[in-house]
């Protein structure tokens, strides 16, 4: 664990936007006892940093993201965002989910306005802000369309606009492109790169797709199958990635992706061996 401890800090020598220390999350097991989904995870994220979290299914990625949102409490450990301990959900953190989860009876602009309503923003100002963010994600002109009139990619854009509209300090994304076709997924990856370069939001992005993790992130957190932080990989590919397809062909991209893949295979093998020995 010593090597991991040396890599949990943020990429900049500044006060971190996110400071997580020894985060543990336990659930009651179906047949008694407890199941530890997240096991003593510690990391920082600097202001404007893009962090990806990857690992096998069931390794605690989404649970960790929900703890960061404040949707579920950690069983133990400490978590600060913008220097403030996380105690439930608030508008300093916003989530883009695997599915857009739009309200079907509201049009696109009404869905984007939802978070602003809960903030108490006046109607005219809500409309102005919602129009701004729909335009920012490429949906100017689609304000009056209801979710069933939007493609999957357009619905995810509305979900992203809704999250950005409350102007959070921390943007959390839970495999938001996983259900999309390859062409739409790549288009939205490029759009997210553009938005991050423009807005410099701190982003924590969960994905099982290694290409996506390396393409988007400044650093990639690799989770072990038993919910522990196994390694933090610095990507160090130049930040302006205006041509994602070109980036995918570079030696740096291939090297980082292969390193993460090897790490995950090693962790899988070690976990399988440990289970066999315990049995």
Per-residue pLDDT of the chain (279 residues; tens, 9 = 90+): 333 433 455 544 678 999 999 999 999 888 878 899 999 999 999 999 999 999 999 999 999 999 999 999 999 999 999 999 999 999 899 999 988 889 999 999 999 999 999 999 999 999 999 999 999 999 999 999 999 999 999 999 999 999 999 999 999 999 999 889 999 999 999 999 999 999 999 999 999 999 999 999 999 999 999 999 999 999 988 766 667 888 888 999 999 999 999 999 999 998 877 655 454
The percentage of the chain sitting over the pLDDT mark of 90, rounded to a whole number, equals: 76
Backbone angles phi, psi at 137, to 5 degrees: -95, 10
Q: Where are the domains of the chain?
A: 2-92+169-278, 99-167
Q: How confident is the model at residue 2, as a pLDDT?
A: 36
What is the model's pTM?
0.91
Q: How confident is the model at residue 30, as a pLDDT?
A: 82
Q: How confident is the model at residue 275, as a pLDDT?
A: 55
The CATH architecture annotation of domain 2-92+169-278 reads 3-Layer(aba) Sandwich (3.40)
């Amino acid at each position: 664990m010593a090597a991991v401890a040396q890599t949990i800090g943020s990429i900049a020598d500044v006060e971190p936007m996110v400071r997580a220390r020894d985060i543990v999350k336990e659930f009651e097991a179906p047949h008694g006892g407890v199941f530890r989904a997240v096991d003593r995870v510690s990391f920082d994220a600097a202001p404007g940093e893009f962090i990806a979290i990857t690992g096998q299914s069931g390794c605690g990625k989404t649970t960790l993201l929900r703890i960061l949102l404040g949707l579920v409490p950690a069983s133990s450990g400490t978590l600060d965002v913008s220097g403030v301990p996380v105690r439930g959900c608030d508008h300093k953190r916003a989530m883009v989910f695997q599915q857009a989860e739009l309200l079907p009876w509201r049009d696109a602009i009404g869905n984007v306005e939802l978070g602003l309503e809960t903030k108490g923003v006046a109607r005219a100002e809500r409309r102005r802000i919602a129009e701004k963010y729909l335009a920012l994600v490429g949906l100017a002109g689609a304000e009056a369309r209801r979710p069933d009139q939007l493609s999957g990619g357009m619905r995810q854009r509305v979900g992203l606009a809704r999250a950005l509209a409350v102007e959070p300090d921390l943007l959390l994304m839970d495999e938001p492109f996983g259900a999309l076709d390859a062409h739409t997924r790549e288009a939205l990856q490029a759009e997210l790169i553009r938005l991050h370069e423009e807005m410099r939001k701190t982003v924590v992005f969960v994905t099982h797709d290694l290409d996506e993790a390396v393409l988007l992130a400044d650093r990639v957190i690799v989770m072990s199958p038993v919910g522990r932080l196994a390694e933090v990989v610095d990507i160090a590919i130049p930040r302006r990635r205006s041509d994602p397809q070109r980036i995918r062909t570079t030696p740096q991209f291939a090297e980082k992706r292969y390193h993460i893949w090897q790490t995950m295979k090693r962790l899988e093998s070690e976990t399988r061996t440990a289970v066999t020995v315990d049995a």
